[in-house]
């Protein structure tokens, strides 16, 4: 019987390598590791053996079944990758047979946590339903600012569209600057990072989602400067992309920082221009700036004595750059052909 097991193993492995599509693979699964497949049949036969043989053959038979199941999963993965690459419709899915794994956004977010934690940042979490006061007013965004309108913001309490009393789905993680200082009673020097989900009334397309993830950073001390910001952010992107990355700052305006800038990183994938950087060698990655004195005051921090930088970028965007994903909608699609590539 041991010999039979060996032969079965050889035959199954041989046939598996010649399965070229999902249908052939499914037929193989049924023939070998299905409920009435060859391995189960063989194991059913051990009841007539001696106790010792039962033990040995049972053990080896089960080991073979496990091995074949693993091979099956590997092959399934390979075939799916090949077919999704060519845009071919897969025929059927046995969801129960899949092994669970983390979502690409979760993987990216954990990496962001890990790197900033190693740079001395505290990780903070805060509410998705946010007071307009935190989302706008305390960040120096005045009542008449267009971003506060119903056109951009999901109102939870529509009666108070422009009032500080209102409730909104947060449009950015920036309110966490003030919340985390308040909640954790932070006193400078400190550095904090707050990743989380944000919501905007966007027209959804390949690069815009109404729900996505951002990470917000804030670092304050008596001496914090733009040079510190540059060092921290270059270290972050170089570690994240495992490449030597430099950043450049372009002047920009955000009400809660002064000066404010858009941050570009040098393309981590090329030196001369490629598809990812649209042949420009630079990729826009976040907004940032030196915290506005009014915002420091709103944190109960004396702007005469302390200064700091703040930044905010999108986790989805990082994941798209890293994994070469060209459509943001895939993240929420629940399409297993997409998701399984991250197992
Ligand atoms: N909150 C901004 C946005 O969602 C991003 C941002 C810009 C965050 C500048 C910052 C900053 O902290 O300083 O577009």
Residue 147 resides in a domain: no
Q: For the chain, give the mean pLDDT.
A: 90
Is the per-residue pLDDT at 158 higher than 70?
Answer: no
Please name the helix (run of DSSP H) or strand (run of DSSP E) that holds residue 266, with its range, or none: strand 257-266
Cβ-count burial 35-70 (b if 16+ within 10 Å, e if not): eebbbeebbeebeeeeeeeeebbeebbeebbeebee
Pocket residue to mutate for ligand 1, from 199, 299, 312, most atoms within 8 A of Cβ:
312
Query: At 252, which helix (H) or strand (E)?
Result: strand 247-252
Tell me how many domains the chain contains.
2
**In the structure, what pLDDT confidence band is assigned to residue 85 with cuts at 50, 70 and 90?**
low
The residue contributing the CA closest to ligand 1 atom 11 is 288
Q: Is residue 61 part of a domain?
A: yes
For 220, the token pair is: 């304050």
Q: How far is the CA of 70 from the centre of ligand 1 (A)?
A: 46
Higher per-residue pLDDT: 304 or 84: 304
Q: How high is the pLDDT of residue 329?
A: 94
Pocket of ligand 1 contains residue 139 by CB under 6 Å: no
Q: Which residue do the tokens 């060519």 mark?
A: 86
Element spanning 23, H or E: helix 22-32
| Residue 95 lies inside a defined structural domain of this protein | no
Q: Is residue 108's pLDDT more than 80?
A: yes
pLDDT of residue 43: 82
Lowest pLDDT segment from 181-185, 217-221, 338-342: 338-342
The Å distance, Cα 313 to ligand 1 centre, comes to 7
Our answer on whether the CB atom of 28 is closer than 6 Å to any ligand 1 atom is: no
Indicate if ligand 1 lies below 6 Å from the C-beta of 310.
yes
DSSP structure class, residue 190: E
257 Cβ inside 6 Å of ligand 1: yes
Q: Kindly state if the Cβ of 311 falls inside 6 Å of ligand 1.
A: yes
CA of 139 to the centre of ligand 1 (A): 10
| pLDDT of residue 309 exceeding 80 | yes
Whether 326 and 184 map to the same domain: the answer is yes
Length of the chain in terms of residues written: 343
CATH number of the domain that residue 180 is part of: 3.30.930.10
Is the domain of 77 the same as that of 221?
A: no
The pLDDT, as a whole number, for residue 45 is 83
CB contact at 8 A, 180 and 126: yes
Q: Which residues of 142-179 are buried (b: 16+ CB within 10 A; e: fewer)?
A: eeeeeebeeeebbbeeeeeebeeebbbbbbbbbbbbbb
Q: Is any atom of ligand 1 closer than 6 Å to the C-beta of 105?
A: no
Contact 237, 282 (CB under 8 A): no
Contact between 284 and 263 under an 8 Å Cβ cutoff? The reply is yes
Same domain for 188 and 74, yes or no, is: no
Percent of the chain at pLDDT > 70 equals: 94
Q: Is the peptide bond before 259 cis (omega within 30 degrees of 0)?
A: yes
**Gap from CA of 323 to ligand 1 centroid (Å):** 24
> Residue ranges of the alpha helices (H) in 86-197?
104-118, 132-135, 175-183
| pLDDT grade for 26, boundaries at 50, 70 and 90 | confident
In a domain, 161, yes or no: no
Write out the two tokens for 273. 């221009």
The predicted structure's pLDDT at residue 291? 98
Give, using CA atoms, the residue closest to atom 4 of ligand 1: 172
Residue 216 Cβ contacting ligand 1 at under 6 Å: yes
In a domain, 280, yes or no: yes
> Given this model, what pLDDT does residue 61 score?
84
- For residues 65 and 17, the answer to whether their CB atoms sit within 8 Å is no
**Same domain for 27 and 113:** no
The two tokens of residue 265 are 């990183």
| Dist. CA 171–CA 215, nearest whole Å | 12
Domain assignment of residue 155, yes or no: no
Q: Distance from the CA of 237 to the center of ligand 1, in angstroms?
A: 17
How confident is the model over 202-217, as a mean pLDDT?
A: 95
* Whether 226 contacts 290, CB under 8 Å: yes
Question: Is the beta carbon of 288 within 6 A of some atom in ligand 1?
Answer: yes
User: Is 84's pLDDT higher than 70?
Assistant: no
**77 and 113 both lie in a single domain:** no
Residue 171 CA: which ligand 1 atom is closest? 4
With a CB cutoff of 8 Å and minimum separation 6, the contacts of 245 are 234, 237, 238, 265, 266, 268
For residue 291 and ligand 1, the question of a CB distance below 6 A is answered with no
- The answer to whether residue 152 sits within a structural domain is no
Same domain? 56 vs 198: no
Range of the domain at 57: 2-83
- Both 116 and 192 in one domain: the answer is yes
**Cα–ligand 1 centroid distance for 33 (angstroms):** 54
Mean pLDDT along residues 125-135: 94
Residues 98 and 264: their CA atoms lie apart, in Å, by 39
Q: How far apart are CA 290 and CA 252, in angstroms?
A: 12
In a domain, 270, yes or no: yes
Lookup: tokens for 336: 């297993």
> From the CB of 175, is ligand 1 less than 6 Å away?
no
- List, for residues 110-119, the tens digit of each pLDDT value: 999 999 999 9
Summarised one tens digit per residue, pLDDT across range 277-299 is: 999 999 999 999 999 999 999 99
With 0-12 / 13-18 / 19 or more C-beta atoms within 10 angstroms meaning exposed / middle / buried, residue 324 is: exposed
Number of the ligand 1 atom closest to the C-alpha atom of 309? 13
Q: Cα(174) to centroid of ligand 1, in Å?
A: 6
Instruction: Say yes or no to pLDDT of 239 above 90.
Output: yes
Instruction: Place 198 in a pLDDT band, splitting at 50, 70 and 90.
Output: very high
Which residue did the predictor score with more confidence, 19 or 221? 221
Q: For residue 172, how far is its CA from the centre of ligand 1 (angstroms)?
A: 7
Q: Among 17, 52, 83, where does a domain finish?
A: 83
pLDDT, residue 176, reads 98
Residue 311, helix vs strand vs coil: strand
Predicted local distance difference test score (pLDDT) of residue 249: 98
At residue 5 the predicted structure's pLDDT band, cuts being 50, 70 and 90, is confident
Residue 217 or residue 23, greater confidence:
217
- pLDDT score for 319: 97
For ligand 1, atom 3, the nearest C-alpha belongs to 172
Between the CA of 294 and the centroid of ligand 1 the distance, in Å, is 16
């Amino acid at each position: 019987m041991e010999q039979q097991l060996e032969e079965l193993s050889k035959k199954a492995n041989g046939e598996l390598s010649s399965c070229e599509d999902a249908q052939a693979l499914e037929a193989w699964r049924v023939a070998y590791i299905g409920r009435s497949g060859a391995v189960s049949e063989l194991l059913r036969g051990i009841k007539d053996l001696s106790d010792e043989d039962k033990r040995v053959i049972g053990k080896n038979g089960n080991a073979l079944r496990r091995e074949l199941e693993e091979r099956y999963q590997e092959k399934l993965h390979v075939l799916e990758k090949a077919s999704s690459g060519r845009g071919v419709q897969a025929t059927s899915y046995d969801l129960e047979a899949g092994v669970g794994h983390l979502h690409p956004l979760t993987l990216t977010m954990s990496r962001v946590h890990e790197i900033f934690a190693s740079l001395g940042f505290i990780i903070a979490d805060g509410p998705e339903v946010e007071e307009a006061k935190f989302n706008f007013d305390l960040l120096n965004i005045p009542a008449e600012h267009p971003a506060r309108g119903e056109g951009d913001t999901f109102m939870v309490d529509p009666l108070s569209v422009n009032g500080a009393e209102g409730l909104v789905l947060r449009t950015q993680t920036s309110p966490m600057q003030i919340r985390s200082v308040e909640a954790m009673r932070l006193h400078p020097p400190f550095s904090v990072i707050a990743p989380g989900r944000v919501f905007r009334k966007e027209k959804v397309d390949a690069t815009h989602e109404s729900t996505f993830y951002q990470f917000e950073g804030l670092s304050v001390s008596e001496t914090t400067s733009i040079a510190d910001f540059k060092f921290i952010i270059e270290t972050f992107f170089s570690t994240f992309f495992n490449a030597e990355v430099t950043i450049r700052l372009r002047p920009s305006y955000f009400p809660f920082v002064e000066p404010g800038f858009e941050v570009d990183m040098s393309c981590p994938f090329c030196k001369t221009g490629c598809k990812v950087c649209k042949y420009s060698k630079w990729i826009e990655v976040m907004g940032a700036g030196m915290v506005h004195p009014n915002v420091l005051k709103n944190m109960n921090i004396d702007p005469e004595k302390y200064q700091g930088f703040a930044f905010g970028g999108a986790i989805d965007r990082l994941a798209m750059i890293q994994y070469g994903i060209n459509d943001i909608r895939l993240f929420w699609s629940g399409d297993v052909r997409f998701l399984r590539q991250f197992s």
